[in-house]
């Protein structure tokens, strides 16, 4: 159809967007992914009934207080552990520096709830460690070794040990990217090392550090397993109570909405402080940092400082878990365990394939048709990383239950069609929650491919789809594998979302480990926990190898 010049109100650009199936697809994906969030927020203003008023009056104050205390404590400790070790590892050389530069990341492979019940087991009256200390050294500190870890301070410590690697990774990247001239100038002005750290490096790295801490805090808001096990009532455990104990969906939704307010404040804080402070390395010529050699006693001090988070956050719990696994392996590993393993791995594999495919689709659409609108769609589709798993689950469960009730009236008697409690619901939820994980990995892979390769392919007559298949996908192999792997592991260790949405009588390794631990059978939880940890170590080691190459 030929329009006469000037008759078209829409610009050619808009016209093309409106007729582009890729953009329609991205729009659809963004809408679907945003659905749970819309559901959660749509319920904020509806008035609550008796049950909600009870929760509001009696429970919410505790939830708010506990959540805030957890966030404050974790901010402080992840900051101290993450930044100090990152500074040491990137600025100085001391015995074991190379080892610590990757060992300090390892706790990321140990989910907080697993580390939590392991530590609780270690410090318990009956733990082999306590028994050993009591019998041989006469150390007896009562019911618990040292102190009762099943408390709010205990939760803060365990969460910080599990989450400080976010701060460590991001500040290490920042410190080592800084030009040494900046620090040399400070040193030439007669500043002491401590002044350089507090006066130059720290203020400069602030945006990076805050970004790391907000990632850690998002994990705090997402956590269910540790808070429940340690008996700390937070918003996330509150959602579970409202859903499972009170059977009151409306309250679960409202709590989710409240929890999202915390998330939003966190995002806004992070964005605004990053927006104001953008220090580039431009202007100063880049020279890699020359590490200062630390003398004997100082070197050993640095080593001890780095040793602490690694031992507490990884090595000790893992040794304990291996010890327990050894004891219980024979009893635990039976045909049910094989089924469990299969369930978990198949579920994680399907979810990671789905997430990777969607992420590839969105990343390619943004690359091929980069308008503001399409970039906005990509942002919407990757929001899920900030939404706690329990909130995603409730936001999906409510509309699915409603759809089920409609489906029942449609289906003939005897045949029940349902969405809730199916793998479909679970995988949909993983897609919402972990889209960003897949997208970021693929998107950074895309950035390394020259856009002229896509254009060359299209100018040679290949459609977008064929270009994706013949050019982008082969070149993205590494990024696709890492996206799939990261999602796979996230799904494998995921707890709150899976607990709410899983099909009846369906268990995963994470759920089994958590249930064993909750039943005071910590040793039996160890084999499942070990499988999760070993799988989780794969990307950490790969990541380290990749970083080593650019080092």
247: left (phi over 0), alpha (psi -120 to 50) or beta: left
**Least Cβ distance, residue 459 to other proteins (angstroms):** 5
Confirm if 456 and 383 have CB atoms less than 8 A apart.
Answer: no
**Least Cβ distance, residue 19 to other proteins (angstroms):** 9
Spatial separation of the C-alpha atoms in residues 47 and 249, rounded to whole Å: 14
For other proteins, the closer of residues 192 and 470 by Cβ is 470
**Least Cβ distance, residue 407 to other proteins (angstroms):** 40
Instruction: Tell me which DSSP letter residue 26 carries.
Output: H
Spatial separation of the C-alpha atoms in residues 484 and 354, rounded to whole Å: 9
Confirm if 378 and 403 have CB atoms less than 8 A apart.
Answer: no
Collapse the DSSP code of 93 into the 3-class scheme (helix H, G, I; strand E, B; otherwise coil) and give the result: strand
**Max CA-CA distance within the chain?**
96
**Least Cβ distance, residue 550 to other proteins (angstroms):** 19
**Least Cβ distance, residue 485 to other proteins (angstroms):** 21
**Least Cβ distance, residue 479 to other proteins (angstroms):** 14
**Least Cβ distance, residue 466 to other proteins (angstroms):** 8
Angle between helices 522-550 and 112-123 (to 10 degrees): 130
Spatial separation of the C-alpha atoms in residues 538 and 131, rounded to whole Å: 34
For other proteins, the closer of residues 8 and 444 by Cβ is 8
Number of other residues whose CB lies within 10 A of the CB of residue 58: 9
CA dihedral 440, 429, 220, 387 (to 10 degrees): 70
**Least Cβ distance, residue 515 to other proteins (angstroms):** 47
Confirm if 530 and 321 have CB atoms less than 8 A apart.
Answer: yes
For other proteins, the closer of residues 10 and 417 by Cβ is 10
For other proteins, the closer of residues 414 and 474 by Cβ is 474
Spatial separation of the C-alpha atoms in residues 319 and 194, rounded to whole Å: 36
Token pair 């008023």: residue: 53
For other proteins, the closer of residues 20 and 251 by Cβ is 20
What residues contact residue 396 under an 8 Å CB cut-off, 6+ apart?
A: 35, 36, 39, 425, 428, 429, 432, 501
Q: How many residues does this entry show for the chain?
A: 551
**Least Cβ distance, residue 3 to other proteins (angstroms):** 4
Main-chain dihedrals φ then ψ at residue 124, nearest 5 degrees: -75, 155
For other proteins, the closer of residues 415 and 460 by Cβ is 460
Q: Which of 113, 234, 106 is nearest to 509 (CA)?
A: 113
**Least Cβ distance, residue 10 to other proteins (angstroms):** 8
Spatial separation of the C-alpha atoms in residues 39 and 392, rounded to whole Å: 10
Angle between helices 249-276 and 389-410 (to 10 degrees): 140
Main-chain dihedrals φ then ψ at residue 192, nearest 5 degrees: -80, 160
For other proteins, the closer of residues 98 and 466 by Cβ is 466
**Least Cβ distance, residue 477 to other proteins (angstroms):** 9
Main-chain dihedrals φ then ψ at residue 215, nearest 5 degrees: -60, -45
**Least Cβ distance, residue 278 to other proteins (angstroms):** 17
Where do contacts with other proteins occur on this chain (CB under 8 A)?
Answer: 1-5, 7-8, 10-13, 15-16, 372, 450, 452-453, 455-464, 470-471, 474-475
Q: Which of 118, 533, 143, 85 is nearest to 316 (CA)?
A: 118
């Amino acid at each position: 159809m030929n329009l006469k010049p000037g008759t078209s109100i829409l610009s050619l650009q808009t016209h093309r967007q409106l007729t582009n199936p890729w953009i329609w697809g991205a729009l659809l994906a963004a809408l679907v992914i945003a659905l749970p969030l819309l559901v959660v927020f749509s319920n904020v203003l509806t008035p609550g009934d008796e049950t909600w008023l009870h929760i509001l009056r009696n429970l919410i104050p505790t939830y708010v207080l506990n959540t805030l205390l957890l966030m404050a404590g974790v901010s402080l400790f992840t900051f101290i552990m993450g930044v100090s070790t990152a500074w040491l590892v990137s600025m100085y050389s001391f015995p074991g520096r190379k080892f610590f530069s990757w060992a300090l990341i390892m706790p990321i492979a140990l989910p907080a709830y697993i580390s939590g019940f392991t530590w609780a087991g270690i410090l318990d009256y009956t733990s082999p460690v306590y028994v050993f200390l009591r019998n041989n050294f006469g150390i007896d500190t009562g019911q618990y070794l040292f102190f009762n870890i099943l408390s709010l301070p205990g939760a803060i410590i365990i969460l910080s040990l599990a989450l400080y690697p976010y701060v460590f990774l991001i500040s290490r990247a920042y410190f080592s990217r800084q030009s040494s001239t900046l620090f040399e100038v400070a040193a030439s002005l007669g500043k002491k090392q401590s002044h350089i750290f507090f006066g130059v490096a720290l203020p400069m790295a602030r945006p990076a550090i805050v970004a790391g801490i907000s990632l850690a805090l998002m994990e705090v808001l997402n956590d269910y397993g540790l808070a429940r096990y340690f008996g700390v009532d937070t918003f996330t455990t509150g959602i579970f109570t409202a859903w499972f104990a009170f059977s009151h969906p409306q309250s679960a939704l409202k709590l989710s909405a409240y929890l999202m307010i915390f998330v939003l404040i966190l995002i806004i804080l992070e964005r605004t402080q990053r927006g104001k402070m953008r220090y580039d390395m431009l202007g100063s010529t880049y020279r890699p940092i020359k590490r200062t050699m630390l003398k004997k006693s100082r070197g050993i001090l640095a080593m001890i400082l780095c040793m602490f988070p690694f031992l507490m956050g990884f090595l000790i719990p893992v040794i304990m878990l291996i010890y327990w696994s050894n004891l219980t392996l024979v009893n635990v590993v039976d045909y049910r365990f094989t089924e469990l393993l299969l369930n978990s791995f198949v579920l994680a594999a399907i979810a990671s394939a789905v997430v990777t495919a969607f992420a590839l689709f969105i990343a390619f659409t943004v690359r091929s048709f980069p308008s503001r609108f399409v970039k906005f769609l990509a942002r919407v589709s990757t929001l899920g990383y900030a939404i706690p798993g329990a909130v995603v689950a409730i936001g999906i469960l409510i509309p699915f239950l409603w759809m089920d009730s409609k489906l029942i009236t449609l289906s003939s008697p005897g045949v029940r069609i349902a969405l809730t409690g199916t793998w479909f619901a679970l995988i949909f939820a993983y897609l919402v929650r972990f889209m960003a994980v897949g997208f970021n990995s693929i998107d950074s892979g895309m950035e390394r491919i020259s856009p002229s390769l896509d254009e060359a392919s299209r100018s040679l007559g290949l459609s977008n789809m064929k270009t994706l298949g013949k050019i982008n996908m082969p070149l993205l192999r590494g990024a696709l594998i890492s996206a799939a792997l990261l999602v796979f592991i996230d799904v494998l260790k995921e707890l709150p979302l899976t607990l709410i949405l899983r099909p009846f009588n369906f268990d995963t390794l994470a759920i089994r480990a958590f249930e064993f631990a909750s039943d005071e059978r910590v040793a039996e939880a160890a084999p499942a926990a070990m499988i999760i940890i070993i799988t989780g170590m794969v990307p950490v080691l790969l990541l380290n190898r990749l970083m080593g190459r650019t080092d």
